Amino acid sequence: MNDGGAVPHGEDRGRRYGPLGRALVIIPTYNEAENIKPIVARVRAAVPAVDILVADDNSPDGTGKIADELAAQDEQVHVLHRKGKEGLGAAYLAGFAWGIEHGYGVLVEMDADGSHQPEELPRLLTALKGADLVLGSRWVPGGRVVNWPKSREFLSRGGSTYSRLLLGVPIRDVTGGFRAFRAETLQGLGLTEVASQGYCFQVDLARRAVAAGFHVVEVPITFVERELGDSKMSRDIVVEALWRVTAWGVGGRANRLLGRKSP
């Protein structure tokens, strides 16, 4: 399947994919009081059939309270209150577990700040009908970023290129966080072994999907820099991603030389 400029990776080998089932959009939040209401409204307008799970890390600005108010008004909005700020990866893992436990067939990652356009979600869900995992990609033909400084674009492109080459994965946007998974794909990624956080979490899931032989498709998206609130990007996140990707790449090459299976 290659609709809407989608770029497939790996062979589906004639596999017949089952129906998608109910979809859950997971939106991790920490101090997103200005953004959570409009992003929930946009998701509900773009794909009225999907449910939303706000995974809030006990935001001191009251994001969780606002999410509770939205959930009280709309039965398709749910809130997962977490004890504190534990990182993007931990929030998504908790959201995945909640979604699988509640019987959702599709689980979507989406930022709260509007950088991921909910209006592009239908394209990801359409592509998922013939894939195991769909990535919203900034770096395939048709993808782009808006209102980013060149330094940020260089960092993102460089990080994806470094990860792709070192890990041997064909994905162009390895660090992107707008993704749609089939539930069975997530269950095949060994999530209990995932300890990475930040943008490194996205690299980790991508490499696991490729290693497991899942059919991955990249769909071009327009990524828009947030207008409200503060970015969660930090030096620690960049450093973690660099050392983890390097360790995975070096370890994977060593394991191949020794004939061992990489974790």
Answer yes or no: is pLDDT of 234 > 70.
no
**pLDDT value at position 149?**
82
* pLDDT at res. 243: 67
Encoding tokens for residue 1? 């399947």
pLDDT of residue 111: 95
Decide if 21 contacts 105 (C-beta within 8 A). yes
pLDDT at res. 160: 82
pLDDT at 215 over 50: yes
pLDDT at 183 over 80: yes
What is d(CA 230, CA 97) in angstroms, rounded to the nearest whole number? 28
Element (H, E) at 23: strand 23-29
12-63, pLDDT tens digit by residue?
656 789 999 999 999 999 999 999 999 999 999 999 999 999 999 999 999 9
pLDDT at 196: 79
pLDDT at 44: 98
Tell me which residue has tokens 């929030």: 91
**4: which 2 tokens?**
């809407």
CA distance 94 to 245: 23
* The predicted structure's pLDDT at residue 2: 41
Look at residue 258 and tell me whether its pLDDT is greater than 60. no
CA-closest candidate to residue 175, choices 83, 50, 74, 89? 89
Q: What is the pTM of this model?
A: 0.85
pLDDT band at 72 (very low <50, low <70, confident <90, very high): very high
Contact assessment for residue 24 and residue 52, using Cβ atoms and an 8 Å cutoff = yes
CA pair distance 154, 168, nearest whole angstrom: 20
- Express as a percent the part of the chain with pLDDT over 90: 64
**Which whole number is the average pLDDT over 101-130?**
97
Task: Please report how many Cα atoms fall inside a 13 Å half-sphere around the Cα of residue 109, on the Cβ side.
Answer: 25
Kindly state the percentage of the chain with pLDDT values over 70.
84
- Comparing 71 with 197, which gets the higher pLDDT? 71
Distance of CA 197 to the CA centre of its chain: 12
More confident residue, 248 or 50: 50
